Structure 1
Amino acid sequence: MGLLTPDPGLVFWTAITFGILVILLRKFAWKPILHALRTREETIEFSLAAAAKAKAEIEDLNVEKEKILIAAKDERDSLIKEARELKQNIVDDARNKAQEEADKIIVSARQQIEREKSDAIQEMKRQVAELSVNIAGKLLEQELESTDKQKAIIERYLQEVNFN
């Protein structure tokens, strides 16, 4: 017999051994193997479902994160706007106060000028009165023969007096 031709006895006993092995495996090993495969399949399905759920949660979190970022940007912009308005109000208040102070200083200076002007006018009136009295006194001292002579004397005294 050659190596490639099978012996019928060997084939018979191999088939019986294989049948017994299949029966034993079916009775003792097939159920635990199928149970393990089903358990593994359920675990994989559960893991895939959990992964899908986690992915959905991550997407929800990303959406929520975007909403929070937008809200934060809006709040930042609002705070910047408020700060600019506050700065402008402070600048405007300072400008108004400075203008008020400048107006007060101008009013005070005008009042001072008016007082000094009034004092100068009073002083000028006093000097004119004194000058008039002096002129009148000098006129009375001299002999007054004619009105031409009086006018000439008055003109001479007026030219002597410096009003500056």
Structure 2
Amino acid sequence: MDKLFEGLLNHHIGFVVWSTLAFVILFVLLRALAWKPILGAIHERERHIESALQAAENAKAEMARLTSENESLLKEARAERDLILKEAKELREKMIAESRATAQAEGAKMIEKARIEIEGQKAAALADVKNQVSSLSIEIAEKILRREFADQSKQEALVSDLLKEVKLN
């Protein structure tokens, strides 16, 4: 049995040695020819994924920055629009007020001019009426006096009446 065991062991040891030697050679060949390129490809893929993730992160940060800039630009544009609208409204109100003031001043001038013209026409008409009344009064007085002084007795009666009025006053 010892011999059998020794024969099997020798046979098995040779098999183990040749198997180990084949494994080591295969391992060295695989390591030299397959593992390095496979590991290199895996590392390259990892670097590519990391750079893609970094680029995505950078793009995300850039988008956030651009969004923030756009919002601030929109706020500025809205504020500027509101300021322009406010200035336009103030200018419009100022122009309306100036137009009103100018129109009122022109209206007041026209009214004053018309009043002066009316006063002048009124004074001229009054003077004309006075002239006509005085002319008529003189004509009437002349006619009355001619009639009254045509008769000597009426002249004496008128003089005596006038003298009585003068003494009474």
TM-score, normalised to structure 2's length? 0.72
Pairing 1:72–2:77 present: yes
Select which of 110, 114, 118 maps to 1:105.
Answer: 110
1:122 correspondence with 2:122: no
Write the letter of the residue equivalent to 2:29: L
For 2:39 and 2:120, locate their aligned partners in 1 and report how far apart those are by CA, in whole Å. 118
Higher relative contact order (CA 8 A, sep 6+): 1
Look up the SS of the partner of 1:142 in the other structure: helix
Letter in 2 for 1:34: L
- RMSD value, Cα: 2.4
**By how many angstroms is 1:22 displaced?**
2.8
* Residues 31-90 of structure 1, C-alpha deviations (whole Å, 9 max, x = no match): 121112112111211111111111111101100000000001011111111111121122
Using the TM superposition, give the Cα deviation of residue 135 of structure 1 relative to its aligned residue in structure 2, in angstroms.
2.3
Q: From the two aligned structures, give the one with the greater helix fraction.
A: 2
- Give per-residue Cα distances to partners, 1:2-24, cap 9 Å, x unaligned: xxxxxx9xx97887655543321
Q: Which residue of 1 aligns with 2:99?
A: 94
Q: Give the whole-Å Cα distance in 2 for the aligned partners of 1:140 and 1:43.
A: 140
Which letter maps to 1:136? A
Question: Identical aligned pairs, as a percentage?
Answer: 43
- Taking the aligned partners of 1:14 and 1:119, their CA distance within structure 2 comes to 149
Shift in Å, 1:93: 2.1
Q: Unaligned regions of 5+ residues in structure 2, if any?
A: 1-11, 162-169
Deviates more, 1:36-45 or 1:135-144: 135-144
2:60 corresponds to which of 38, 55, 58: 55
In structure 2, how many angstroms separate the alpha carbons of the residues matched to 1:69 and 1:89? 30
- Residues 1:21 and 2:22 are matched in the alignment: no
Aligned counterpart, 1:132: 137
Larger Rg: 2
Segments ≥4 residues shifted beyond 6 Å? 11-16
Deviations 1:92-114 (A, max 9, x none): 22212211221121011101111
In 2: Cα distance, 1:17 partner to 1:103 partner: 124
* Greater mean alpha carbon deviation, residues 15-24 or residues 102-111: 15-24
